[in-house]
């Protein structure tokens, strides 16, 4: 990222974050092709329409409207990117699933439960 572009940009403060135009932010985000960056219209689309996640959710880039101009922050882009990444690659490891018991294991467990119930109730079968 080029710090000179960001230092020269007007930066009103909102919640402690420096705000930049979509053009300035877009120039800092690498594009699909080598030596390119995303267009400011892409940033606008992320704000207004969002990006669909594989599970059908929707993630939108945070932005504010100041007068006639839209502004967002580098922190908002980082949060947006983290949400999209987490939607594809969950940060938490999946919980291990217990193996399904075989029919013999189920029969033995049922017999043991029946024996225990019979001993508690004092009945014989």
The band of 1, judged by pLDDT with boundaries at 50, 70 and 90, is very low
**Mean pLDDT of all residues in 13-42:** 90
80, 62 Cβ separation under 8 angstroms: yes
- Residue 81: which of 53, 108, 117 has the closest Cα? 53
For the residues 99-125, what does the mean pLDDT come to? 88
Structure tokens, 11: 């930066």
The β-bridge partners of 30 are 37
pLDDT average, residue stretch 37-42: 95
Q: Does the global pTM surpass 0.85?
A: no
Q: How confident is the model at residue 91 (pLDDT cuts 50, 70, 90)?
A: low
Mean of pLDDT over the chain: 86
For residues 114 and 109, give the distance between their C-alpha atoms in angstroms, rounded to a whole number: 9
Alpha helix (H) residue ranges in the chain: 3-8, 22-28, 40-48, 74-88, 103-121
> In angstroms, rounded to a whole number, what is the distance separating the alpha carbons of residues 118 and 125?
8
Average pLDDT over residues 99-111: 92
């Amino acid at each position: 990222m080029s710090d000179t572009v960001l230092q020269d940009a007007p930066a009103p403060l909102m919640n402690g974050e420096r705000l930049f135009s979509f053009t300035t932010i877009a120039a800092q985000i690498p594009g699909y092709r080598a030596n390119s960056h995303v267009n400011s219209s892409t940033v606008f689309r992320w704000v207004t329409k969002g990006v669909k996640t594989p599970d059908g959710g929707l993630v939108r880039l945070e932005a504010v409207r100041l007068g006639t101009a839209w502004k967002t922050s580098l922190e908002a882009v980082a949060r947006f990117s983290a949400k999209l990444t987490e939607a594809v690659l969950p940060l938490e490891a999946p919980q291990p699933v217990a193996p399904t018991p075989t029919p013999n294991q189920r029969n033995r467990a049922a017999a043991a439960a029946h024996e225990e119930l019979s001993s508690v109730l004092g009945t014989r079968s």
